[in-house]
């Protein structure tokens, strides 16, 4: 009981010191607690549970002793920028950009933390408006600088710096042409740099790639200077090479371009493509991951060879020749895959089996240099499998000549941003979110699938690097799983001719990683590769059956991310419920007609003070025969109101008694002996004789003007006894302000205009509507503040 009493007393003191705590009730506490739980579950638990549900061991079907290479494929992050939603007003546009970045940054970090992949491959469309932002022009050179570059055969005397002309001598490949009739002219190179920095913070930051890892940068080995370099004048020093330790290093491939990065077909600008390759890597590349040969193909540029042209139809030969500078680099890359593919495999096998595939060194022989200045001729497309040089122009060849393999081969994985051609009625599978198939459509800077002829050429050319085991693509933003059947052709050593070989290949189009790309549930693809090989690149061990009686070396799994729109909707729904509950509660409190909490405290305080005063009253002895009753004590009685008191002004008639004016018969026999605050702080003269009479109003100081008038015939005693203003005592503990003047006059009610600070008497009670409104506002604030602080902390920290 004592503990409960102490707790209640402490709570009362807290309520008096902090009035807003009176609004903390069970309802507000429950609502605030549920908001904290809801925010944590949506911002932390939901994301982690989605990533954990995609754990490798839950879907991989390799042998128990297998150690597969695990890779994550991410498609179409397309960082939101002014190009994404051009009609969206501020601040909605800024909020969309912030929350999409936050969404991708949070889940990419969780992927590396929970799934711990060995490699990460991006499937293009890294930036949404990358193709629309103009490139930076070269600075003008002075005469001396130009002369130096001309002497070094870097610059032609008849050309300006920064120019890269085609063979016709008029088309400058470094000139940027704004798209959509100059709609995006105000965004320059600076906008592209800002978006690249955002991309780096989301996907390339060390804390994002290696969360919770203590990585160190330490010297690993020493490398002496080459003797040839020393003979040529280099310093004889030893270079120290560093390596990063503490955890495994992830391979990150982000060089595959998309149509939002560089455009597509004839809309590709060479200067934009060069900018992309400068930051993200070569658009066409071949490398080895998990004992598979990855062929990253720039299909947006290759589409200039054969594309869907609105209102035109098929591409003419003249148009192909016109845009040959766009598709020629990719064509040359395809023509050399029969050599570059096996070379990449041989280099990888040499690392695994030293001495199995030694590298061939180039001879260091001096040759005589001839400056034929054929710069324009060098920029023309070189003769290859798909082109041959005629008398006056380049002529197309319908099909390439089959080639004999030149080295070891591994299963090939083809990466293309644009999906390969398929019939429009081909079903994409049950995991697709929108529709059944990818529609065949094309428009400004987009084309849903490649053309049939270009698809056949790609399949045949890529197969020269090895058997195509799988194809991955993006661009569509939704999932699609289809199977192709190609005639890849094979070189017959006996007949020395090509023989028809039909091959079945599976293609998976990966979902977008961003929730702002038209899909409610974004996702990414998990790819597990297990292909143990010998020093010649041949598969060893037990073989799992795959397509075309081959070994199954790749397994995939789609991992879905949370629906961010449903998270916002759940917040809005519970916000409406919270508002409704608090509003009903406030209305109920208002119509119950309860007194205001502040008024209750004042009334309780007033009653307590009167009770204390009565209990502290002591009897006063008077001689027998004096008026005042049989007990000899003088009973204080209520005085008749004087003129000053009737009008509420400051009178000079009397001072209030220290006892209660409305005491009962029992209390009339006592007199308070507690000294008033005024008595403790001021020196006053005693009352005049005869001031305490049976007809007097109690123990008050006399009005000296009247007393002096009766005693001295109207003469004042100011010069004898001093001046006595009308005062009352007030407990200084009732208010923080203890100045005496601040307590004067409040006993006269609301009409005491001379009170210090202009304080009035008792407050006017609030109306029911006002009481309900105040209760609703305070309840909303008490629930909203902790929820907002918790939400801000979570999104601030990812």
Q: What is the pLDDT of residues 207-266, one digit of tens each?
A: 999 998 777 767 767 777 777 777 777 777 777 777 776 678 899 999 999 999 999 998
pLDDT at 652: 41
DSSP code at position 134: P
Q: Which residues pair with 295 in a beta bridge?
A: 286, 414
Q: Give the Cα separation of 461 and 455 in Å (integer).
A: 10
φ, ψ at 447 (rounded to 5°):
-155, 120
593 φ/ψ sector (left φ>0, alpha ψ -120 to 50, else beta)? left
Q: Residue 708's closest CA among 679, 687, 684, 682?
A: 687
In the three-class reduction of DSSP (H, G, I as helix; E, B as strand; rest coil), residue 639 is classed as coil
| Residue range 67-137+174-210+250-360+382-560, CATH number | 3.60.21
SS3 for 474-494 is: CCCCCCEEEEEEEECCEEECC
Edge to edge, the sheet with strand 523-529 lists 251-253, 119-122, 69-74, 523-529, 554-560
The two beta strands, 216-224 and 238-245, are: antiparallel
Domain residue limits, the chain = 2-42+570-594+767-796, 67-137+174-210+250-360+382-560, 597-758
Is 235 within 8 Å of 225 (Cβ atoms)?
A: yes
Q: Residue 63's closest CA among 551, 458, 557?
A: 551
Q: Give the Cα separation of 688 and 690 in Å (integer).
A: 6
pLDDT at 727: 54
Q: Give the Cα separation of 737 and 760 in Å (integer).
A: 15
pLDDT digits (tens, 9 = 90+) for 650-673: 444 444 444 444 444 444 444 444
pLDDT at 256: 96
Residues of the chain with pLDDT under 50: 375-376, 378-399, 604-607, 628-638, 642-700, 711, 715-718, 720, 732-760
The two beta strands, 387-389 and 671-672, are: unpaired
| Model pTM above 0.95 | no
């Amino acid at each position: 009981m004592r503990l409960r009493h102490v707790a209640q007393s402490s709570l009362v003191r807290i309520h008096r010191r902090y009035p807003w705590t009176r609004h903390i009730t069970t309802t507000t506490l429950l609502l605030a607690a549920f908001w904290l739980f809801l925010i944590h579950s949506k911002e932390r638990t939901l994301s982690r549970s989605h990533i954990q549900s995609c754990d490798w061991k839950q879907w991989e079907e390799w042998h128990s002793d297998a150690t597969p290479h695990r890779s994550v494929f991410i498609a179409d992050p397309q960082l939101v920028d002014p190009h994404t939603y051009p009609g969206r007003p501020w601040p909605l546009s800024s909020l969309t950009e912030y929350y999409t970045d936050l969404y991708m940054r949070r889940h990419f970090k969780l992927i590396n933390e929970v799934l711990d992949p060995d490699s990460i491959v991006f499937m293009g469309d890294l930036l949404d408006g990358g193709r629309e932002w103009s490139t930076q022009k070269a600075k003008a050179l002075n005469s001396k600088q130009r002369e130096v570059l001309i002497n070094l055969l870097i610059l032609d005397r008849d050309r300006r710096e920064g120019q890269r002309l085609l063979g016709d001598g008029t088309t400058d490949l470094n000139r940027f042409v704004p798209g959509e009739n100059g709609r995006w002219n105000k965004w320059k190179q600076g906008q592209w740099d800002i978006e690249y920095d955002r991309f780096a913070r989301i996907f390339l930051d060390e804390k994002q790639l290696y969360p919770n890892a203590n990585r160190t940068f330490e010297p690993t080995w020493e490398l002496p200077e080459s003797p040839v370099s020393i003979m040529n004048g280099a310093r004889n020093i030893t270079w120290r090479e560093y390596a990063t330790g503490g955890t495994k290093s992830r391979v990150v491939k982000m060089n595959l371009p998309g149509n939002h990065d560089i455009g597509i077909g004839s809309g590709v600008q060479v200067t934009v493509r060069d900018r992309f390759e400068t930051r993200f890597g070569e658009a066409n590349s071949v490398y080895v991951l998990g004992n598979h040969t990855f062929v990253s193909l720039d299909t947006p540029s290759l589409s200039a060879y054969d594309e869907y042209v609105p209102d035109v139809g098929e591409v003419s030969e003249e148009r192909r020749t016109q845009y040959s500078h766009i598709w020629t680099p990719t064509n040359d890359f395809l023509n050399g895959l029969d050599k570059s593919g096996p070379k990449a495999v041989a280099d990888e096998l040499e690392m695994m089996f030293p001495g199995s595939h030694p590298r061939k060194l180039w001879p260091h022989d001096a040759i005589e240099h001839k400056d034929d200045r054929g710069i324009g001729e060098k920029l023309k497309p070189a003769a290859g499998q798909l082109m041959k040089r005629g008398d006056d122009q380049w002529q197309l060849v319908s099909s390439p000549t089959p080639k004999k393999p030149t080295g070891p081969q591994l299963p090939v994985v083809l990466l293309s941003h644009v999906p390969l051609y398929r019939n429009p009625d081909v079903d994409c599978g049950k995991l697709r979110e929108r529709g059944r198939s990818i529609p065949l459509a094309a428009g400004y800077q987009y084309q849903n699938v490649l053309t049939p002829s270009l698809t056949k050429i790609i399949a045949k050319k890529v197969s020269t690097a090895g058997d195509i085991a799988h194809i991955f693509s993006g661009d569509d933003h939704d999932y699609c799983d289809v199977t192709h059947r190609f005639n890849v052709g094979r070189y017959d050593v006996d007949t020395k001719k090509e023989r028809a070989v039909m091959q079945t290949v599976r293609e998976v189009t990966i979902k977008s990683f961003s929730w702002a790309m038209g899909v409610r549930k974004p996702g990414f693809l998990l790819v597990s590769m297990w292909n143990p090989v010998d020093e010649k690149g041949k598969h060893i061990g037990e073989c799992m059956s795959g397509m075309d009686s081959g070994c199954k070396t790749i397994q995939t799994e789609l991992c879905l991310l949370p629906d961010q729109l449903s998270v916002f909707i759940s917040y809005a729904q519970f916000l409406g419920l919270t508002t409704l509950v608090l509003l009903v509660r406030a209305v109920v409190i208002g119509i119950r007609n309860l007194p205001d909490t502040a008024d209750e405290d004042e009334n309780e305080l007033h009653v307590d003070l009167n009770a204390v005063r009565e209990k502290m009253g002591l009897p006063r002895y008077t001689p027998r025969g004096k008026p005042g009753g049989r007990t000899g004590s003088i009973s204080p009685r209520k005085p008749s109101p004087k003129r000053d008191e009737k009008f509420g002004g400051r009178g000079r008639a009397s001072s209030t008694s220290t006892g209660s004016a409305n005491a009962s018969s029992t209390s009339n026999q006592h007199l308070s002996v507690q000294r008033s605050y005024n008595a403790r702080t001021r020196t006053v003269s005693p009352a005049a004789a005869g001031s305490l009479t049976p007809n007097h109003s109690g123990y008050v100081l006399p009005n000296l003007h009247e007393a002096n008038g009766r005693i001295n015939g109207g003469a004042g005693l100011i010069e004898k006894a001093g001046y006595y203003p009308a005062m009352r005592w007030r407990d200084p503990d009732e208010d923080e302000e203890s100045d005496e003047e601040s307590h004067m006059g409040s006993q006269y009610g609301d009409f005491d205009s001379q009170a210090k600070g202009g304080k009035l008497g008792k407050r006017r009670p609030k109306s029911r509507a006002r009481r309900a409104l105040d209760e609703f506002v305070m309840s909303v604030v008490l629930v909203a503040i902790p929820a907002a602080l918790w939400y801000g902390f979570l999104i601030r920290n990812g």
